[in-house]
Amino acid sequence: MEKPASGPTPEGHRSGVQPRGGYLLALLVLLGALVLVLVAWHYAREREMRAAEVRFGTRSAEIVDRLYQRLVYYELVARGGTALFASMARPTPQEWADYVESMNLQPRFPATSGLGFIGYVSSSSLDDLQIEWRESGYGQLNIRPHGLRPRYAPVLYLEPRTPENVAAIGLDLLNDPGSRDALQSALESGAAHLSGPSAGTVPEELMLYIPVFRGGDHPHTASMREKSLQGWVYLPFDIGRYVTLAMGKEYDNVGLRIYDVSAGEQLLFASRRKEENSVFHHQATLEVYGRKWRMEFDSPPEAIAAPRIRGFENMLALGLLASLLLYGMVFTLARTEDRAKAIAMRLTENYRRSEQRFRSSMEYSAIGKALLDSEGRIVEANPALGRIVGRSLDSLAGQPFDSLFEDEEQSLLPRDDGRVDENGVRRATRLLRREGGLPRQAQLTYAPVPGNVGQDVTGLVQAEDVTERVRAQAHVQALNRTLEARVAARTRELSQANQELESFAYSVSHDLRAPLRSIDGFSRVLLERYGEQLDEGGRDYLHRVRKAAARMGELIEAMLQISRLGRAELRRETVDLSRMATEIIEDLAAGEPGRSVAVHIMPGLEVTGDATLLHNLLGNLLGNAWKFTRGREHALIEFGAVDHSDGEPEFYVRDNGAGFSQAYVGKLFRPFQRLHSQEEFSGHGIGLASVRRIVERHGGRIRAEGREDEGAVFYFTLPAAGEVMAEQRLMT
């Protein structure tokens, strides 16, 4: 193959992407997009704020109009009272009460306190008024405040007769500064007038006064009006309720302050203090019934006054996001261009290094290698091939590769004979013709390899001298035959040792049990015949001897049981663990009918294994759970299985009994190791050791988790269980 020209490596380019024109363009695109988005957002926001301000001004004008219209309604109500006086000289208090009741005043106008009449009386005719009042059956008219004055304006009628209105009868309003000016103005102008606030106070009530002239006259001059004046019909109303009812709920988020600026400036009403976060402020003036009011309006915060602003904020966020996306696209294009250049430089360098590696592997490899053309001639060979065949490299060039071998094997060149694998690789062992030496075995591997453009190279052949390896394999086969004979002899010896061990275990158990039976029997006879002659201590010693003998017998039986578990032949069959666990629990419950234990057993747990050994396994685990929950008021035992990702189920037995410390979990499965005393829980210490041996004989594993006084859980696996349970699921 031709060697490529060496060039600069792209190491400097790998240090990072350097700033170029593409990145500058991406930055300019980002700045331009951000400017356009911000300008568009600012223009739209300002336009919306102006529109919201216009809407707020319109709402303020609507509130002013509502306040004025409600005062007009109040005037119409009061005018009805003046019409009553025009129809008769002076209505009696009862006639006035009937008229007000027919008006249904307070349900229609809740802000009003009532409708009344104020008499206009000179000091000379005051006595006549008192006499007339008494003769009408209304008792003494108490005019307040007391004192001699040239003119009086006492409240004579005020309906409905609430306690507050009754208390106002006889009150001289000409003596009140706020009412005096309004009464005098109504007299002089002959038109309705509103009372003004008292100096330094915020009034709770305002009063609308309309003069009443005798016989329904309409005098044209002030002097004629005073001569014809009977009094004033007046309508008191609560200023706060009046404004609140006029505004309604749709305007309850608008701040309003009303000032009387007829003479100076006095606050009449304030729905709330001036809000600092109000976005709009509006002011209007209303001249009504002789008073001049200035109204100041405060809008709610921007989010309420201009709700569409939030939409423009979302538009701004979307615009900024779109700008960032556009920037990301341009930046990605610039970065892609830069990376493409880097990849091109890297591929060039990789090709140069790959060619260099190939040359090095050809030159320094201990395995002979040769490049072949389409006719099977050697195009190029490495020094190792020359050493293997014992010829120079120059003499190998152009030689047919098959001429180097003595055997009659077919050529390794590719043919359609079905002996080439999917990658076109062929392997063979042939007898090599070596110059000046004995023939040797060569392992050949042919693989198709493309050459450079215009070069006739079709494959690569590797030749390895395996003569010594073939000899070594023959030697290994001879050793294997010898080893197999030794293994068979050792197996016979092991079988014989197991038989001797079984005989020994039987003889030991028989020889040990006989003395123990003697100890127990003679101790029992001694207690029965001479127990009365022994003191309490002696009898206790004999009981201990018998108990120790019985304990020794149980330990011998346990040792035999463990030895049998290792020797018993496994008889595999399908076992229903759920049914087996149910039967074991029923046997345990029958042994202790007084206990109440909640038992949960998962149905459908089937495995393949030795039924006798598996019954021993579950009997030990469930028996331990039954035993160690004996002190629990609400004892609980569970048996079930959980599936793991590998499809193998893991069975478990869980209880809420005495439990154990996780620090001693290593002792649980050792024979004759106990974590509780014999007085607390009886046992021999071989149950869990037997469980472990049974699980391991089935090819599974077992582990335990627990906490002191909180319970324990034992997990175990039986490898064949996954297949059985999977088949059961398919059938269901």
Q: What is the CATH number of the domain that holds 227?
A: 3.30.450.350
Domain boundary pick from 464, 482, 502: 464
Mean pLDDT of all residues in 325-335? 83
Per-residue pLDDT tens over the stretch 200-252:
455 688 999 999 988 777 788 888 888 888 899 999 999 989 998 888 887 87
Distance in angstroms (rounded) separating the CA atoms of residues 165 and 559: 111
**Which residues neighbour 312 within 8 Å (Cβ) at sequence distance 6 or greater?**
41, 44, 45, 48
Confidence of residue 67 (pLDDT cuts 50, 70, 90): very high
Distance in angstroms (rounded) separating the CA atoms of residues 361 and 539: 93
- Confidence (pLDDT) at 645: 65
Range of 97-106, 472-481, 538-547 with top mean pLDDT:
97-106
Distance in angstroms (rounded) separating the CA atoms of residues 189 and 187: 6
pLDDT for 541 beyond 50: yes
Beta-strand (E) ranges in 367-481? 368-372, 378-381, 426-432, 440-448, 459-465
Residue at 292 is within a domain = yes
pLDDT for 72 beyond 70: yes
Based on the domain organization, do 407 and 271 belong to the same domain?
no
pLDDT for 488 beyond 70: yes
Confidence of residue 472 (pLDDT cuts 50, 70, 90): confident
Domain containing 285: what range? Answer: 57-298
Q: What is the CATH number of the domain that holds 620?
A: 3.30.565.10
Phi, psi of 595 (to 5 degrees): -85, 150
pLDDT for 333 beyond 80: yes
Based on the domain organization, do 680 and 608 belong to the same domain?
yes
Nearest to 498 by CA among 569, 555, 556: 569
Mean pLDDT of all residues in 47-67? 89
Check: CB of residue 207 under 8 Å from CB of residue 242.
Answer: no
Per-residue pLDDT tens over the stretch 675-726:
555 555 555 556 777 788 888 888 888 888 888 888 889 999 987 654 545 5
Range 254-268 burial, b when 16+ CB lie within 10 A, else e = bbbbbbbebeeebeb
- Confidence (pLDDT) at 557: 63
Mean pLDDT of all residues in 98-110? 88
- Confidence (pLDDT) at 117: 93
pLDDT for 102 beyond 80: yes
Length of the chain: 732
Phi, psi of 645 (to 5 degrees): -65, -25
- Confidence (pLDDT) at 310: 76
Per-residue pLDDT tens over the stretch 581-609:
999 888 888 888 888 889 899 998 999 88
pLDDT for 565 beyond 70: no
**Which residues neighbour 188 within 8 Å (Cβ) at sequence distance 6 or greater?**
222, 225
Residue at 188 is within a domain = yes
Residue at 237 is within a domain = yes
Based on the domain organization, do 481 and 447 belong to the same domain?
no
Q: How many domains in the chain?
A: 4
In this structure, are strands 255-260 and 229-238 parallel, antiparallel, or unpaired? unpaired
Residue at 354 is within a domain = no
Q: Which residue has the higher pLDDT, 345 or 723?
A: 345
**Which residues neighbour 254 within 8 Å (Cβ) at sequence distance 6 or greater?**
59, 60, 63, 247, 271, 297, 298, 299, 300
Confidence of residue 506 (pLDDT cuts 50, 70, 90): low
Q: Is 698 exposed, middle or buried (0-12, 13-18, 19+ CB in 10 A)?
A: buried
Based on the domain organization, do 721 and 628 belong to the same domain?
yes
Nearest to 434 by CA among 408, 404, 411, 461: 404
Domain boundary pick from 437, 464, 491: 464
Lowest mean pLDDT among 75-84, 227-236, 655-664: 655-664
Based on the domain organization, do 447 and 513 belong to the same domain?
no
Residue at 197 is within a domain = yes
Q: Is 493 exposed, middle or buried (0-12, 13-18, 19+ CB in 10 A)?
A: exposed
Please give, one letter per residue, the 3-state secondary structure of 188-236: HHCCCEECCCCCCCCCCEEEEEEEEEHHHCCCCCHHHHHHHEEEEEEEE
- Confidence (pLDDT) at 576: 92
Mean pLDDT of all residues in 4-28? 56
Mean pLDDT of all residues in 541-545? 77
Distance in angstroms (rounded) separating the CA atoms of residues 184 and 179: 9
What number of other Cβ atoms are within 10 A of residue 395's Cβ?
13
Confidence of residue 198 (pLDDT cuts 50, 70, 90): low
In this structure, are strands 597-601 and 635-643 parallel, antiparallel, or unpaired? parallel
Residue at 320 is within a domain = no
Confidence of residue 4 (pLDDT cuts 50, 70, 90): very low
Per-residue pLDDT tens over the stretch 361-410:
777 777 878 888 877 888 888 887 777 777 777 877 887 877 777 765 55
- Put the strands of the sheet holding 193-194 in their side by side order: 155-159, 115-119, 229-238, 205-213, 193-194
- Confidence (pLDDT) at 498: 62
Domain boundary pick from 464, 493, 517: 464
**Which residues neighbour 229 within 8 Å (Cβ) at sequence distance 6 or greater?**
120, 187, 211, 212, 213, 214
Per-residue pLDDT tens over the stretch 635-659:
899 999 988 766 688 999 999 887 7
- Confidence (pLDDT) at 512: 65
Based on the domain organization, do 122 and 99 belong to the same domain?
yes
Q: Kindly report the average pLDDT of the chain as a whole number.
A: 79
Based on the domain organization, do 289 and 371 belong to the same domain?
no
pLDDT for 5 beyond 50: no
| H-type alpha helices, 88-125 | 93-103, 105-108
Which uninterrupted H or E stretch holds 280?
none
- Confidence (pLDDT) at 551: 63
pLDDT for 522 beyond 50: yes
Distance in angstroms (rounded) separating the CA atoms of residues 91 and 105: 19
- Confidence (pLDDT) at 553: 65
pLDDT for 36 beyond 70: yes
Tokens of residue 117, six digits:
């009449």
Residue at 274 is within a domain = yes
Nearest to 154 by CA among 135, 134, 182, 129: 129
Tokens of residue 385, six digits:
């091939």
Based on the domain organization, do 123 and 247 belong to the same domain?
yes
Q: What is the CATH number of the domain that holds 373?
A: 3.30.450.20
Based on the domain organization, do 245 and 115 belong to the same domain?
yes
Based on the domain organization, do 577 and 687 belong to the same domain?
yes
CA angle at 585 for the pair 579 and 587, rounded to the nearest 5°: 105
- Confidence (pLDDT) at 415: 47
Based on the domain organization, do 500 and 378 belong to the same domain?
no
Based on the domain organization, do 514 and 587 belong to the same domain?
no
Residue at 667 is within a domain = yes
- 24-32 long-range contacts (CB < 8 A, ≥24 apart) are 25/330, 25/334, 26/327, 26/330, 26/331, 26/334, 27/327, 29/326, 29/327, 29/330, 30/323, 30/324, 30/326, 30/327
